[in-house]
Structure 1
Amino acid sequence: MTYHSHLDKTISADFGDALLASLAPDGGLWMPDSLPFYTPMQTAELAAMNFWECAAELAEHFTDNAIEKDKLRALCKDAYNFDVPLKTLKGANLDVAMAESNDEYILELFHGPTLAFKDFAARFMGRSASELMKSSGQTRTILVATSGDTGGAVGDAFLGQDGIKVVILYPEGGVSKVQEQQLCTIGDVNSNVSAVSLQGSFDDCQQLVKDAFANQELAKKHNLMSANSINVGRVIPQSFYYFWTSLQIKAAHPGVPIVYSIPSGNLGNLTGGVIAKKMGAPIDRFVVGNNVNDPFVDYLKDGEYIPRASVPTLSNAMDIGRPNNFPRILDLMDKDFEAVSSLCWGASFSDQETERHLRRVFAETGYIMCPHTAVGHLAMNEFSKDVERPFIKVTVATAHPAKFADSVERIIGQEVPLPEALSKAMQKEKRVTKLEPNLSALSDYLDTL
């Protein structure tokens, strides 16, 4: 199976080249030439597997012999050594015996090492890249922009890997205190992971990464590789958890439509969901929750896409005014607005609405959401108002609330216990370099590594 540039389908690459090159030579995003479609009999077999086994089966199509099957299975088993729970707001796990009394679930994607959904993609990507580079003897500098969680997940996934340097760019003052501490304490002073604070927004960070890749001299000099969701190796693994969890829900609720609500910024998570559906996952629709940075929600209303400068919000990881993966959504849906708007429904919410909802959910159920998850749950509630037939509601929980403890504790009036990994990070000394958001400053910094 090969990949093509979304700008020009005649430009192609195999999985290894697409992963390591990040962008196509024309600046386009790599897209798979085809997607497998699994029949009901095949999905029944996949549903009986545990998550990592299902992920390995799905990944085999996308890697297309670039990684041997046994190595791919070992890679997925190692990458996905944590739970992927579906829970009710009362904290109970999905249970077939109790299914009749439940129609709403929270898909907790924050049980990986950095407590955010980005671990699913970063760990698969990191291990795949390492496996591919073993035989080539290449070295790489990974340049990644983060609005909060991507940098930590990528840094953790590539920490200590030979031949790889990781440079994490994040907006100064644009991530939570806990997120920043996590970003700036990966490894030790001699580690291959560096954090860089830029004076600007996440959009500035993202644009600087794009500018660096567009500068052929700089990209070649440092053998740059992206780990942002512009890299197809980031979005493909995000289809795995939609595919597997929708099969678990179908087994518990046969014949009932399933709708996922996704708090969205760069649209990588939604792209993974759309890929899963096109492969045969039993998903009826997607609800997209935005904060006030909502160009995609606006697009769903009238088909006009207008990117804009982002503004800071409580749900900072979604403070993105120019989502990278919008072209991928269009490519997957054949640039058909009616098809996109039939599959996706969207709504956006202010910080005040997000705070009220987070507080209310905690008061009524005891469940603590991070601000992003609260936006997704708000969107699901809004969508549900106009739906008369029964359906299963699944809100995607993207991060542990402790990663936003400074905001969440203020909102609910109660301390949020820090998981052990975050507690250890908070005790470490930060290592960070401050830069102006321009290519000259970044180039000078890369020369020092």
Structure 2
Amino acid sequence: MDYISTRGKVEKCGFIDAFLMGLANDGGLVIPSEIPNISEQKLKEWQELSYQDLMLEIFSYYTNDEIPYEDLKKLVYDSYSTFRDEAVTPLKQINDSLYVLELFQGPTFAFKDVALQFMGNLYSYVATKRNEIINILGATSGDTGAAAIQGVRGKEGIRICILHPHQKVSKVQELQMTTVQDENVLNLSVKGNFDDCQQSIKELFADVDFKHKYHLRAINSINFVRILSQTVYYFYAYFQIAKAKPVGKVNFSVPTGNFGNIFSGYLAKQMGLPIGKLILATNENNILERFVKEGMYKPGEFYSTYSPSMDIQIASNFERYLYYLNDQNPDKVSELMNRFRAEGQLEIGPELLGKVALDFEAQGVKGADCLEIIDKYYKQSGYLFDPHTACGVKAYETCSGEQETCVVFATAHPAKFNEAIALIDIEQPFPTEIQQLFDKPQVQTVIENDKQVLVSELERFFG
């Protein structure tokens, strides 16, 4: 398996080099040169595997044996030993057609742990084996930062700097990042929104000289290994249902802002997993809904919402889907992305919009509807959704048929977003790990949304 760029101007490379590259050196995103097809027989065999062994099977198609099997097995098992449920991502049935996949059983109570616990260990492994310097640079809308920091804090040979939008994440999200005291961690609170943070990150990774000088590595979903890690729980969820009842295709409703989590589902579907609909759930920052329904990709007004991890206008992983939508034509992708950079929008015609409809449905969810869903299901079933998951449930109600089985991703524990939960007079107990955060001192540096200010901070920290 070789790895290439969506823009076609990077030489093919192997798995570890693709992992270390993060953003491709031509400004594109790293993808596999081909997507392996998993046979029906192999899918049946995988149904009985543990989460960890399933991950090993899926990764075997992508790693080119660059990591010895026993080393990879240790990385995988170590990564999920910190999860609170032995199933890693347990599946809960809510009603006859609705299942919830709990992706928040990791150390920071969010779905990002599933990929980032593994990636942190993989970075440590590579640093040791190759005697590499690892300086991780990432941006977060809330959950990625905490999970990434937790994955690498205190590890020798690795430093991490995370940018988050100042006062635009939940209090728990902020505390999970800024109460970490380890010397290899730097939190930068940027006076702007997530898109500002992410744009700065992409510009710095696109500056190849700067990237190489400071040995920058990516932890965001621009890194393909994170996308690949997330495909595992699509397979795992499907298998849990298939073992319990006869099932054909299963729909997945995925809260998403950066298009990474749902692109992992697209990858799983292309590999042969019987996915029916991939339902893209978002909030008032609904650029992705407009694209799916109208073919127009254009940032609109930015809104701060009850689901801040989806308060994103420019989706970093969108380019990967454009590549496959345009028949894997890197020149066309480059043309489209250049047009987007110049004009601030791009539009596809009816033919391609028809192809999009074969892959996705989408639903934007208003704040009031989000709270209504939380209240409704809590009263009906006693199950408490966080606001992001509630967006996914509303999208399920809108887009998934009555006779269709649907899995909604529970992307975070509700305690991380108590500001929203409290608005509907629901009192929830906080897990001990979260409650303890409120008594810890915070360490963060607040900076202006200015590239040169950012560069100065990075040169000081990574230099």
Q: Specify if TM > 0.5.
A: yes
Q: Deviations over 1:150-192 (max 9, x none)?
A: 0011001111221111111000111001110111012x2x431
Look up the match of 1:295: 287
TM-score of the two chains, using structure 1 as the length reference: 0.93
Mapped contact 1:300–1:345 kept (Cα < 8 A): yes
Question: Pick from 288, 295, 310: which aligns with 2:302?
Answer: 310
> 1-side partners of 2:26 and 2:97: how far apart?
46
Does the 8 Å CA contact 1:115/1:399 hold for their aligned counterparts?
Answer: yes
Q: Which amino acid aligns with 2:130?
A: S
Equivalences for residues 394-409 of structure 1 within 5 A? 394-409=407-422
SS where residue 342 of structure 1 aligns? helix
Unaligned 5+ runs, structure 1: 90-100
- Mapped pair 1:361 → 2:377: yes
What SS is found at the alignment partner of 1:356?
A: helix
Secondary structure of residue in 2 paired with 1:160: coil
Which residue is 1:430 aligned to?
442
Task: Answer with 192-201 or 358-367: which moved more.
Answer: 358-367
Give the Å deviation of 1:342: 1.3
**How far off its partner does 1:35 sit?**
1.8
TM-superposed CA distance for 1:10, in Å, is 5.9
Partner of 2:99, secondary structure, is strand
- What SS class does the counterpart of residue 61 from structure 1 fall into? coil
Separation in structure 2 between the aligned mates of residue 328 and residue 183 of structure 1, nearest angstrom: 29
In 2: Cα distance, 1:434 partner to 1:36 partner: 45
Match of 2:32?
A: 32
What's the secondary structure of 1:23's corresponding residue? Answer: coil
Residue 309 of structure 1, CA deviation: 5.1
Picking from 421, 428, 450, the partner of 1:416 is 428
Partner residue in 1 for 2:42:
42
Q: Does 1:159 align with 2:153?
A: yes
Q: Is residue 2:398 matched to residue 1:382?
A: yes
Task: Establish whether residue 373 from structure 1 lines up as the match of residue 389 from structure 2.
Answer: yes
| Partner AA of 1:354 in structure 2 | C
- How far, CA to CA, are the matches of 2:357 and 2:59 in structure 1? 28
Unaligned runs of 5+ residues in structure 2 are 328-351
The separation in 2 between residues aligned to 1:367 and 1:191, in whole angstroms, is: 39
Partner of 2:188: 196
Residue of structure 1 equivalent to 2:337: none
Query: Using the alignment, how far apart are the partners of 1:28 and 1:280 within structure 2?
Result: 26
Matched, 1:344 2:357: no
Counterpart mapping for 1:135-284 below 5 A: 135-186=129-180, 188=181, 190-284=182-276
In the alignment, residue 170 of structure 2 is paired with which amino acid? S
**Cα pair 1:247 1:281 within 8 Å, conserved:** no
Contact kept in structure 2, 1:66 and 1:132, CA below 8 Å? no
Instruction: Show the counterpart of 2:457.
Output: 445
Partner of 1:79: 79
CA contact (8 A) 2:126 2:132 kept: no
Conserved in 2, the CA contact under 8 Å of 1:113 and 1:119?
A: yes
Once the 2 structures are TM-superposed, how far is the Cα of residue 334 of structure 1 from its aligned partner? 4.2
Runs of 4+ in 1 over 6 A off after TM superposition: none
Compute the displacement of 1:57 (Å): 1.1
TM-score w.r.t. the length of structure 2 is: 0.90
**Range with bigger deviation, 323-332 or 172-181:** 323-332
Is the contact made by 1:86 and 1:107 (CA closer than 8 Å) also made in structure 2? yes
Alignment correspondent of 2:323: 331
- Is the 2:194–2:311 Cα contact (8 Å) retained in structure 1? yes
**Deviations along 1:106-163, whole A, 9 cap, x unmatched?**
1110001111000111112122222222122111211110001000110011112211
The question of whether the paired residues in 2 share the 8 Å contact of 1:3 and 1:14 is answered with: yes
Structure 1 distance, partners of 2:299, 2:357, is 18
Cα contact 2:25–2:206 (8 A) shared by 1 = no
Shift of 1:297: 0.9
8 Å contact kept, 1:67–1:132? no
SS in 1 for 2:104: coil
Do the aligned partners of 1:212 and 1:439 also contact (CA within 8 Å) in 2? no
Distance 1:251 1:329 in 2: 31
**Are residues 21 and 309 of structure 1, via their aligned partners in 2, closer, same or farther at CA, if it must alter by over 3 Å?**
farther
CA separation in 2, counterparts of 1:426 and 1:295?
Answer: 35
Q: Please say if 1:15 is aligned against 2:20.
A: no
Aligned residue for 2:110, secondary structure, equals coil
- Mapped to 2, the partners of 1:241 and 1:333 lie a distance apart of 24
3-state SS of 2:296 partner: coil
Report the equivalent of 1:107: 101
Q: How far does residue 199 in structure 1 lie from its aligned partner after superposition?
A: 0.2
SS at 2:222's partner residue?
A: coil
CA contact (8 A) 1:144 1:167 kept: yes
Following superposition, the deviation at residue 304 of structure 1 comes to 2.3
Offset of residue 343 of structure 1:
2.0
